[in-house]
Amino acid sequence: MYDLVIRNGVIVDGSGGPRYKGDVAIKGDRIVAVGTVSGEAAQTIDATGKVVTPGFVDIHTHYDGQASWDPLLAPSSINGVTSIAMGNCGVGFAPVQADKHDWLINLLEGVEDIPGTALAEGLTWDWQSFPDYLDALQRREFAMDVGAHLPHAALRAFVMGERGADPDAAPSPAEIAEMERLTFEALQAGALGFSTSRTYLHRSRDGQNIGTLRAGRDELLAIARAIRRAGRGVIQMISDAYLSADDDFANAELDLIRDLARTSGAPLSFTVQQTDDAPERWRFIFDRVDAMVREGLDVKCQVAPRPIGVILTFASTTNPFLLTPAFRAVAHGVSIEERLKRLADPSVKARILADHAATPSSGLMARLTHGFDRMFRMNDPVDYEPDLSLSLEAEARRLGRDPAEFAYDVFLEEGGRRLIYQPLLNFVKGNLDDVHAMMTGARTLYGLSDGGAHCGTICDGSFPTTTIGLWSKGSKSGKSIPLEQLVHGYSRRNAEQVGWFDRGLVKAGYLADLNVIDMDALALSPPEIIQDLPAGGTRLMQTPRGYACTIKAGKVTFENGRSTGALPGRVLRTEMRIQEAAE
């Protein structure tokens, strides 16, 4: 007798091959038969009219803190994800000296917008070394499998102390040797890989650049040598190459990426997005990556399935007026309810608008504070390709009103809880044509969801749902991607990138990680502001529709978006790279 059989589904098996109708039989944590399955089962799921896919693999998350207190790891888990990689972008909580807990909290609060009070209360700190951290995770239960990178910022601070937080501080030869040793130790213990950040956008809560921003070649290549010596692990990184209009700078960063891939011999992936300042840089990067692959290097670009957009509201972290002295005066140190009450006062509004008009800004911050031409009301279902004619500025112009003053009134809608969507990246032309080109590139991975991070500003843990739902049906300009290719990208291709060869396929012998999806119903509701973090911290939570069930290691973990209470997930260590699934 089988433990579970899914019957009569349309199977999109993760290989990229054509879909077909059939059944899937599960015994224990493995798929044991696919096709026409006869025989009885302890549990049967009728998938008639639904699609059966592998569980999704999200290789770019930041649940490093949340994993201390939350076994569900939403919103990723409710969006069909059954395996995650965390510790990306060079930030995480291990290794850590006992006197550096607050420092790492300060860093993560700034870089990834995770409330420091929630981290201070929720983190258990039952670890010091990176191997200790993996052991601590192994003592917990989860709704999905979790793997963790060794984060460069934490490693640097562990070895260099306060100097590690200074991007201009160079480690001594002895400190470089120690970083190399600890990297090897972490990989031997099961670290998924090594991650680092080289972007000015990553700053601590105090506004200081991340210490890894300008880490030197000697330091990075020593770490790459440790990866080669360990014979396992990957490299994940973010660089300002995609942000810069300076060809020399971009080339220097890409030269470093090439050298890291060559020295380590490991798969390397890095962030690529489209910016207003360098709208064609991504094409230049793709060409350079093609050249690296021709050299025999395993280098790929992590891309997003929609604009990277912030969610603006008076009731959460970010809004266009947050830099004004008047806003800070009324918002600091009070409850959300009191803040919203004060902001509705006409005299407060007048002071904030006057400050806003006089507050200069530049670069990405100018777009955030004055880019009303790319601010849109969020409706249900969410439209991630909004028409520019529906922006707050366009609406204000039609009404003959000042855009800032009109936007302020819109932010006061729904008692001050109105959500506004602002695409910051990947939306230069006001459509998703370039996103489609990135997603269909030969050297791309679907990533950058940042699940677990940007709690009050971005809610992109729902990326898998956008990938499968939007692109299988087509963008507003008519561009689409076959469902088989989309599922492959979010399952088998991502799994192979990080060495998880036992998952990502609906095939006998593989891990029974599966989704049953009603494609006609698949959609995303607007995010909600909820207060479920430790210390009463708030975060954005986005609920999808259309997932009939998600199965992890043979156990149904979610039914119609609700947890069943099953927690079959475990910690994934790098030895998984050499465990091939049964054929």
pLDDT digits 0-9 by tens, 204-250: 878 899 999 999 999 999 999 999 999 999 999 999 999 999 999 99
Q: What is the mean pLDDT of residues 414-428?
A: 96
Is 376:392 a contact under the CB 8 Å cutoff?
Answer: yes
What does the alpha-carbon distance between residue 236 and residue 41 come to, in Å, rounded to a whole number? 42
Residue 583 pLDDT level (bands cut at 50, 70, 90): very low
For the cut 70, the answer to whether the pLDDT of residue 422 exceeds it is yes
463-520 pLDDT per residue, tens: 999 999 999 999 999 999 999 999 999 999 999 999 999 999 999 999 999 999 999 9
Cβ neighbours of residue 244 closer than 8 Å, sequence gap 6 or more? 250, 253, 277, 278, 281
d(CA 13, CA 444): 20
Task: Reduce the DSSP state of residue 462 to 3 states and report it.
Answer: coil
Predicted confidence (pLDDT) per residue in 357-371, tens digit: 998 777 778 889 999
Tokens of 161: 């102390």
**pLDDT exceeding 90 applies to what percent of the chain?**
88
57-307+428-497 CATH choice from 3.40.190.10, 3.20.20.140, 3.40.50.620, 3.55.50.30: 3.20.20.140
Q: Which of 70-74, 114-118, 161-165, 407-411 has the lowest mean pLDDT?
A: 114-118
Strands (E) in 264-419, as ranges, are 268-271, 299-303, 308-312, 376-377
* pLDDT bucket at 575, cuts 50 / 70 / 90: low
Distance of alpha carbon 556 from alpha carbon 345, whole angstroms: 50
Mean pLDDT of the residues in the chain: 95
pLDDT of res. 333: 87
Average pLDDT over residues 321-328: 94
Torsion of CA 355, 356, 358, 362, to 10 degrees: 140
CB atoms within 10 A of CB 409: 13
Q: How confident is residue 29, by pLDDT bands cut at 50, 70 and 90? A: very high
Name the percent of the chain lying above pLDDT 70.
Answer: 98
Render pLDDT for 274-310 as a digit per residue (tens, 0 to 9). Answer: 999 999 999 999 999 999 999 999 999 999 999 999 9
Strands 193-198, 234-239: pairing is: parallel
Predicted confidence (pLDDT) per residue in 526-540, tens digit:
999 888 999 888 899
Give the CA count within 13 Å in the CB-facing half-sphere of 360: 1
* Domain ranges, ordered by start, for the chain: 57-307+428-497, 310-425
Integer Cα distance of 246 and 541 in angstroms: 37
User: What is the distance between the alpha carbons of residues 382 and 369, in angstroms, rounded to a whole number?
Assistant: 22
10 Å Cβ neighbour count for 303? 26
For residue 503, the cross-strand partners are none
Contact (Cβ atoms closer than 8 angstroms) between residue 224 and residue 116: no
**Strand ranges for 440-518 from DSSP E:** 444-446, 514-517
- The reply to whether the predicted model has a pTM over 0.75 is yes
CA distances from 360 to 271, 355, 409 (A): 29, 10, 22
pLDDT value for 109? 86
Q: DSSP letters of 304-344?
A: -SS-EEEEE-TTSS--TTTTSHHHHHHHTTS-HHHHHHHHT
Q: Residue 221: enclosing H or E segment and its boundaries? A: helix 217-230
Distance, in Å, from the CA atom of 138 to the CA atom of 131, rounded to the nearest integer, reads 11
On whether the CB atoms of residues 56 and 119 are closer than 8 A, the answer is: no
Render pLDDT for 377-400 as a digit per residue (tens, 0 to 9): 999 999 999 999 999 999 999 999
pLDDT at 578 over 60: no
Pairwise CA distance, residues 56 & 77, whole Å: 9
Between helices 173-189 and 130-138, what is the axis angle to 10°? 20
| For residue 104, pLDDT beyond 80 | yes
Is residue 149 scored above 50 in pLDDT? yes
CB-CB contact of 290 with 442 (8 Å): yes
One DSSP character per residue, 127-153 reads -SSHHHHHHHHHTS-BSSEEEEPEEHH
**403: cis peptide before it, omega within 30°?**
no
pLDDT at site 110: 82
Q: How far is CA 110 from CA 59, 205, 288, in A?
A: 22, 4, 31
Band of the pLDDT at 525, cuts 50, 70, 90? Answer: very high
Residue with token string 């439209």: 383
Q: Which residues pair with 235 in a beta bridge?
A: 194, 268
